Chain A
């Protein structure tokens, strides 16, 4: 038995990847939950908004690289990120002006708005593929590892190594910064408070002379920023492929609903719950178990609950269970 090596293997294959993935989902789910809380519909176009923002960031990154500008050990994409956010904010504001505003003025039902957002999703889907294609794109540069397996083994003398990719570290750091800023903004600023008031009680917000157009615009800008940041972090950590981003919609929605739609804290918790569930059930536990169990009981096969091909099923099952037994989620959001 060797608990230390088991722990390192667990950290290396489950905890660290889960943490980074969870942070990416949390950022995506925050966007969903914000739009749900304030605009009162489930935005199915969010995954493709992430793809659009990432695409613009990739183009900017390529441009910077071609011009010989890089960020040294950090990925150049971080420099391209503001451009991606600005372009995506412009896109969401334009979509709102051209499409959503019409339905809002007509007091359309939330279900109608969901269908409208699906239309927007398909259009964005097409736009992204038209420009960047359907292929996988890698745009990460800079230092690849914060700690590599080799270094870790040499440092500790353990049989198992722990690798921390720089993109994983960047994901967690950026996510912490963004979430801290978002909570500060919502809790402390006048505009942030007016957004919460609008989400809480629209009629009374109007009676208090809170300008609904401004609240809606702020929401789209913040949602665009969150979507772009989440998309770029995911793309740096793994890779960018339009279809993958479309599929991300499911775990992101699951995260927002598990946490409680409309509740930002819930979105973050939900992101990590979904990420860790996905990673733990698709990880082959043989290595960890071999270290922990006596030799006679050591597993001979993979001990993988389900194949990674089915990882989306995890979100789906969690989503259904939550909707069946806890429709307002862990943090008492709005019922779907």
Chain B
């Protein structure tokens, strides 16, 4: 089998003190959805941040479309086609929805009107509220702005850090639908989720991390069917 589109291989490292990740491997295929779940403090977000270059790996490497990008800064990775949506503080609250999206496209020197229209098609509510300060929107709408901002660079991989944190179950379902839609356009999605069951439901590939290491890996369905995973991480 060919190498996955984006892979963080045998990653070990942390924020400077003790290692948080221990020989952790995560990957996503083109146009697929990979979900990272696990208990609190398992290093889920850390693993994703490592793949985006936000912390230094002691060992291991990250490859995007076969190219070793381990040494690149997050900014350079954006230029290579990676988009990242942080868990919190992921919008410019004092700026309008449209300005948020424009800032997402900051590195693009070409006309990005098409991409803007695509984002508005994906999230129609944002078009309605385009001239409203993003800080005035509801939690679910803010998440849409955050995802929309990351899509403006036309990334090949979109990384989402707990996109459904703090939003209602109904809105969560809708957001997952949009994420599936994004993946269908050929963008690979990698996300960390607290709502493990719903997230694994839409996942092509799932990772269960415990204490910074891979515990279980498999398709979303296999993990959901695995009695041990169910008992330990999905509440039965």
- Write the residues of chain A forming the contact surface with B, with a CB cutoff of 8 angstroms: 190, 193-194, 196-197, 200-201, 203-210
Bound form: Cα–Cα A206–B74 in Å: 8
Task: Establish whether residues A201 and B75, one from each chain, have CB atoms under 8 Å apart when the complex forms.
Answer: no
Which one of B78, B89, B99 lies within 8 Å of A201 (CB-CB)? B89
Contact partners of A203 in chain B: CB under 8 A: 86, 89
Also in contact, A197 and B74, with CB within 8 A (given A203-B86, A204-B90, A208-B149): no
Also in contact, A196 and B95, with CB within 8 A (given A204-B89, A206-B75, A209-B75): yes
Which one of A200, A207, A210 lies within 8 Å of B94 (CB-CB)? A200
Task: Establish whether residues B94 and A193, one from each chain, have CB atoms under 8 Å apart when the complex forms.
Answer: no
Task: Establish whether residues A196 and B107, one from each chain, have CB atoms under 8 Å apart when the complex forms.
Answer: no
Contact partners of B79 in chain A: CB under 8 A: 209
Task: Establish whether residues A200 and B86, one from each chain, have CB atoms under 8 Å apart when the complex forms.
Answer: no
Min distance, Cβ B113 to any Cβ of chain A, angstroms? 15
Query: Told that A208-B103, A208-B149, A209-B107 touch, could you supply 11 new A-B pairs with CB distance under 8 A?
Result: A196-B92, A196-B94, A196-B95, A200-B93, A201-B92, A206-B74, A207-B78, A207-B86, A208-B78, A208-B106, A210-B106
- B126 on interface, CB distance cutoff 8 Å: no
Contact partners of A200 in chain B: CB under 8 A: 92-95
Bound form: Cα–Cα A20–B95 in Å: 32
User: Secondary structure at chain A's binding surface: helix, strand, loop or mixed?
Assistant: helix
Against A, the Cβ 8 Å flags (1 = close, 0 = not) of B61-91 are: 0000000000000110011000010100111
Q: List 19 A-B contacts (CB under 8 A).
A: A193-B99, A193-B103, A194-B106, A196-B95, A197-B92, A197-B99, A204-B86, A204-B90, A204-B92, A205-B92, A205-B103, A207-B75, A207-B78, A208-B78, A208-B104, A209-B75, A209-B78, A209-B106, A209-B153
Shortest Cβ distance from A187 into B: residue: B99
Contact partners of B149 in chain A: CB under 8 A: 204, 208
**Most A Cβ at <10 Å: residue of B84, B93, B99:** B99
- B102 on interface, CB distance cutoff 8 Å: yes
Bound form: Cα–Cα A194–B84 in Å: 18
Contact partners of A209 in chain B: CB under 8 A: 75, 78-79, 106-107, 153
Contact partners of A205 in chain B: CB under 8 A: 92, 103
Min distance, Cβ B208 to any Cβ of chain A, angstroms? 27
Against A, the Cβ 8 Å flags (1 = close, 0 = not) of B128-148 are: 000000000000000000000
Bound form: Cα–Cα A205–B89 in Å: 11
Bound form: Cα–Cα A206–B92 in Å: 12
Contact partners of A206 in chain B: CB under 8 A: 74-75
Min distance, Cβ B136 to any Cβ of chain A, angstroms? 13
Bound form: Cα–Cα A200–B103 in Å: 12
Bound form: Cα–Cα A210–B104 in Å: 9
B: number of interface residues (CB 8 Å): 21
Bound form: Cα–Cα A197–B103 in Å: 7
Contact partners of B86 in chain A: CB under 8 A: 203-204, 207
Task: Establish whether residues A207 and B84, one from each chain, have CB atoms under 8 Å apart when the complex forms.
Answer: yes
Bound form: Cα–Cα A209–B103 in Å: 9
Task: Establish whether residues B91 and A204, one from each chain, have CB atoms under 8 Å apart when the complex forms.
Answer: yes
**Most B Cβ at <10 Å: residue of A194, A197, A203, A207:** A207
Contact partners of A197 in chain B: CB under 8 A: 92, 95, 99, 103, 106
Shortest Cβ distance from B150 into A: residue: A207
- 8 Å CB contacts to A: which residues of B106-128? 106-107
Bound form: Cα–Cα A207–B155 in Å: 13
Min distance, Cβ B135 to any Cβ of chain A, angstroms? 9
Contact partners of B91 in chain A: CB under 8 A: 201, 204
- 8 Å CB contacts to A: which residues of B202-218? none
Bound form: Cα–Cα A208–B112 in Å: 15
Bound form: Cα–Cα A196–B102 in Å: 12
Min distance, Cβ A197 to any Cβ of chain B, angstroms? 5
Bound form: Cα–Cα A201–B133 in Å: 14
- 8 Å CB contacts to A: which residues of B36-50? none
Contact partners of B106 in chain A: CB under 8 A: 190, 194, 197, 208-210
